[in-house]
Chain A
């Protein structure tokens, strides 16, 4: 896989391109323009960036006020602070009031590495999945990141888009269809299919290659939209594959895996099934790569999980 850039850089470039053509596009930051790679945006479009200080409640409330006048508002803040500190503002001032703010969670998951749990967002899917009227998108590569931002500009619903810090390999051709709410099937397989999201997707692709070398038929889906969930895609995959493994940079509670399990069980689908994510425990410290290694979110670890699941040894 050819290496690309961190999704957050694509976010910044895409916003600058769009902002130069649309004066109604505003970026709101809470002392986060540096980590959001938005310094060039601020230099080129000073009238279109609003700094609110280290004050996430304020960030979301002000963004809701700006957006209520018709502005296209991207509220950019580290995912952990955005979705935890400002949770009530997201619930009331954005979702409940039905104001289509674009909430951009950066440095998400464990991308802050050894800075620890204060800076990790392993709860954001669970928290926001329980809030009515907000959609959740997690791009897996630079293509999905660009498409997600472009789609968000005129998106009529409140939306949360999640970005990590690390460089990601390219997964898609540039003519791939990207639609919020529509999963992208990267590959189909009869034995096992990974349903992955965000920065775990390329690891699933590599795991798939390992499994195929071991003689298994393996599939991968980029489930870039967690809400609304692409029910049709998941049911189709469940019909065509024996085992399903979900993968996410999130707690195993309340995220992609929970969403898929809930759907499949209620649809009467009884595939072999496993949720891979961060377990419910005091999290180990380390870089994203080290944390992933520890919890088996690596090509080798995921391949092993698939083998174990298929052999029913778990």
Chain B
């Protein structure tokens, strides 16, 4: 099975991230709902996965050998839908119906949407399911990998730690757990809500091969994903240090943007900032 999507270069990926941010904000603004902060925090990770790393495409979504991606932080649905639509898993116009009565496109991913592997939304579910898929891959001696993205607040759910013990017990080096470590949850700083730190030590103690990365830096993300698997016989964990609301100055690192919908003025200002980001990209790379 060949990689069916065109594998984008780093400059192309960087441009894509700006475009995705504009699309996410436009979508949330139009439907007047969405998880703005978390979408913008994880979009660079989704971009690199789907446009450079994952061995999956609309043509191979039913292939038993495809790589799997499980969106455990299901509330960041808009980010996933924008990427899947961009890659042609469904016509991007379908997102016009987001949150409409009887639409398959709702505030959390479901398997009614082509490309979505598992229904998520309640937190702490993606990792156990991913462990199951990875275990099946080992049993069948299939080469696929299973990626799952968790929010850092989501780690307060105990099921993640149950699944982590299993992942290490079975030596699932085909499992890649990515933590969107933006340090914010709806109430405020994660460490004010429940002490997560020291996360790296915790994951190492649970048996993961742990790497840290700037989760909003495309080049660093590509480099880290290309090093997979990190250690034979150990599940992989990427602690992706991100900024919630990344890409728009006044949205960044603000807990109250968890699911805030931009006002008209905020939307205009956000799009203007992203336009500047695009202009800067052109200055750096030309019209590519």
Contact = CB atoms under 8 A, between A and B. Distances in A.
Given A57-B162, A58-B166, A65-B133, A97 B119 contact: yes
B137 to A, nearest CB: 7
A55 B73 CA distance: 21
A39 interface: no
Given A53-B165, A57-B159, A57-B162, A71 B136 contact: yes
Interface stretch (B124-132, B199-207, B238-246, B255-263): B124-132
Interface residues of A, number: 27
A98 interface: yes
Contacts of B110: 96-97
A47 B125 CA distance: 25
A50 interface: yes
Nearest to A56: B162
A262 interface: no
Contacts of B120: 92
A70 B117 contact: no
B128 A58 contact: yes
Contacts of B52: none
A89 B64 contact: no
Interface string B26-50: 0000000000000000000000000
Interface in A131-161: none
Given A64-B132, A65-B133, A96-B119, A47 B64 contact: no
Contacts of B22: none
A55 B133 CA distance: 18
Interface string A46-88: 0100101101011011111111111100000000000000001
Given A71-B136, A96-B119, A58 B159 contact: yes
Nearest to A66: B132
A48 to B, nearest CB: 9
B166 A64 contact: no
A68 B119 contact: no
Interface of A is mostly: helix
Interface residues of B, number: 31
A29 to B, nearest CB: 12
B113 interface: no
A97 B169 CA distance: 26
B139 A62 contact: no
A50 B172 CA distance: 14
B166 A52 contact: yes
B111 interface: yes
A42 B37 CA distance: 47
Contacts of A63: 132
A89 B135 CA distance: 18
B64 A61 contact: no
Contacts of B122: 88, 92
Nearest to B137: A69
Contacts of B127: 61
Interface of A: 26, 47, 50, 52-53, 55, 57-58, 60-71, 88-89, 92-93, 96-98
Given A65-B128, A65-B130, A93-B118, 19 more contacts: A52-B166, A53-B169, A58-B166, A61-B125, A61-B127, A61-B159, A62-B163, A63-B132, A64-B128, A66-B135, A66-B136, A68-B118, A71-B136, A88-B122, A92-B119, A92-B121, A93-B125, A93-B129, A97-B118
